[in-house]
Chains A and B, each alone.
Chain A
Amino acid sequence: MSLLSRLPFPREGSFSSRLRSAAVAARVGLWLGICFGVAFVTGLISHYAQLDHQPVPFPTHPAWGYRVTQGLHVVAGTAAVPLLLVKLWVVYPKLFAAPPRRLGELVRTGLERGSIAVLVAASILELGIGLMNVAQWYAWDFSFRRTHDALAFVVIGALLVHIAVKLPLIRQVLGGDVEDAAADRPSAVRPGAIGRRGLLRGTWVAAVAAVVAGSATTGTIPGLDRLAVLSPRSRRAGIPVNRTAAQAGVVATATSASYRCEIGYGDTSVRLTRADLLALPQATHVLPIACVEGWSANGTWSGVPLRTLLDHVGAPRGRDLRISSLQQHTAESVTVLPADFADDERTLLALLLDGEPLALDHGYPARLIAPDRPGSLQTKWIARIEVLG
């Protein structure tokens, strides 16, 4: 202790700014909690939508459902960045609080500070890998989806514990004025360059600025996209794609004259060229492609209603489909399309986008487009559709 006090190491009492107050922390924390809550719920929705087998089928209505929930997910996560930074700045002195001397107190404080360490570590990592994933910057070997999903439960769990522990203090300071000093540390008396209200206003502005300038969601919203100067996405090259034909390694097979789209039901199987598909009855629907990374864009898709193809092989309604792509060895190579999507009249084996033949990067010769479905499951370069039993 005597050595510690001689070192130029800060103690909780060394921090004198009156901005570092529970009254400020609770107000920023409230909005941070709201952002985490929105991101958690929308993240669960997205995770569920990507399950192969869903106990309760994911709805196909409204067609824009997933674009809204996933757009919100990325918006809430991006807004949380400045909120988390300011929250941590406000409570930073707590990091240097002296441990209590009594054993019982020590254990309780240790547990509480342990839960906060978990909360802070998981929150920083969750937001960090989320931001990096949207820019497709994979600097790690772990699975993004599994890690992001697992950390979400850790963050929300640790957050609930934190709220429970602080609830009396939160109620006290949120019930009073932000300038109220009743709950402040004794040393937090020095007025800074900005007041508490100024700091809060600046924080809200920073959160909005981060979302507008930097989120993938705003990058593809007409009008806002011009302000989204730091968004990893734009619509300059048309509807964005997540993986190009060259990246998926399908350029040769997708442009080959021997391409056939195979539809199989039991012993029945038909193999259709793109010309065969174009000769079948066509339909056109305006549907969004909405990516898990938060961007989305409407397209006018034309092609064969999937139900027409299923009738072609005599498949009954209410069956899940296994959709195989020409691309190999990725999570999207083989996926299951739940029956309610297969039977929805708007679900197409799309051949045209905005009146033009599909570009290779958009899934030429034929791709799936269904309402209210995550973009990564709108299979491109379809090779085979199999009706499951």
Chain B
Amino acid sequence: MRAARSALVALGVLAAAYGGWLLVSRQHGAQVRQVVEWAAAGVILHDAGLAPLALALGWLGDRLLPRRIARVAALAMLLVGTLTIVAIPVLDGAAAGPNPTLLDRDYATGWLLAAGVPVLGLAGGATISLISSTARRRRTPDGSGPGRR
């Protein structure tokens, strides 16, 4: 196990070093610098932007929303967040124009659909489960049914 792990580390260091060499040896200094700047920007954008935002939303959702709604909101955030990030390049539309076969959809509507359908689906599911559990509670005389929270 220990030998396999050491071999894996050695292989990984070699591969990464080869990648680093490929990066610096095939392009001009200014291009390599820009790659490093972009890499740093990506980390900062995530660690100091996206991650604190997700943290704040999660914190608020946990404290402000009833458990059932918070569950739906968390899943909706995961889906909408993913689809939004994937959609940034097409919503930007920087390349649209001279090529009629590129970015040839209505992406604003597409995003509303892609993000809206799961949100509505989750909200609908939550509503149905809320109504049915309320109905169940009403049927039990002391109002303390085995409903899961």
Contacts and interface: CB of A to CB of B under 8 A. Distances in A.
Contact of A192 (B5, B55, B62): B62
B83 A210 contact: yes
Contact of B5 (A134, A140, A159, A164): A164
B85 interface: yes
Contacts of A157: 11-19
A206 B74 contact: no
Given A89-B54, A141-B34, A231-B105, A150 B99 contact: no
Nearest to B20: A154
A85 B20 contact: no
Contacts of B113: 229
B67 to A, nearest CB: 6
B43 interface: yes
Interface string B59-102: 00110010100110111001101110111111010110011111
Chain B interface, >50% SS class: helix
Contacts of A53: none
Given A160-B15, A164-B9, A165-B9, A193 B104 contact: no
A28 to B, nearest CB: 12
B102 A81 contact: no
Contacts of A239: 101
A97 interface: no
B89 to A, nearest CB: 4
Give the interface size bracket for A toward B: 35 or more
A162 B15 CA distance: 13
A149 B22 contact: yes
B8 interface: yes
Given A157-B14, A159-B12, A142 B35 contact: yes
A247 B40 CA distance: 33
Given A17-B58, A237-B104, A240-B102, A150 B12 contact: no
Interface residues of B, number: 76
Interface string A93-123: 0010000000000000000000101101110
A34 interface: no
A202 B78 contact: yes
Nearest to A82: B82
Given A121-B42, A237-B101, A193 B71 contact: yes
A214 B114 CA distance: 9
Contact of A167 (B1, B19, B46): B1
A32 to B, nearest CB: 14
Contact of A147 (B27, B78, B90, B114): B27
B23 A237 contact: no
Given A146-B26, A236-B104, A213 B114 contact: yes
Contacts of A17: 58
Contacts of B12: 115, 156-164
Nearest to B61: A193
Given A121-B39, A135-B95, A198 B19 contact: no
Interface of B: 1, 4-6, 8-9, 11-20, 22-23, 26-27, 30-32, 34-35, 38-40, 42-43, 45-47, 50-51, 54-55, 58, 61-62, 65, 67, 70-71, 73-75, 78-79, 81-83, 85-90, 92, 94-95, 98-105, 107, 109-111, 113-114, 118
3 tightest A-B contacts by CB? A157-B16, A153-B19, A160-B12
26 contacts: A81-B85, A89-B51, A118-B16, A122-B19, A124-B39, A131-B88, A137-B92, A141-B30, A141-B34, A142-B27, A153-B18, A154-B19, A157-B17, A157-B18, A157-B19, A165-B5, A193-B61, A206-B83, A207-B82, A209-B83, A209-B114, A214-B87, A229-B110, A230-B114, A236-B105, A247-B99
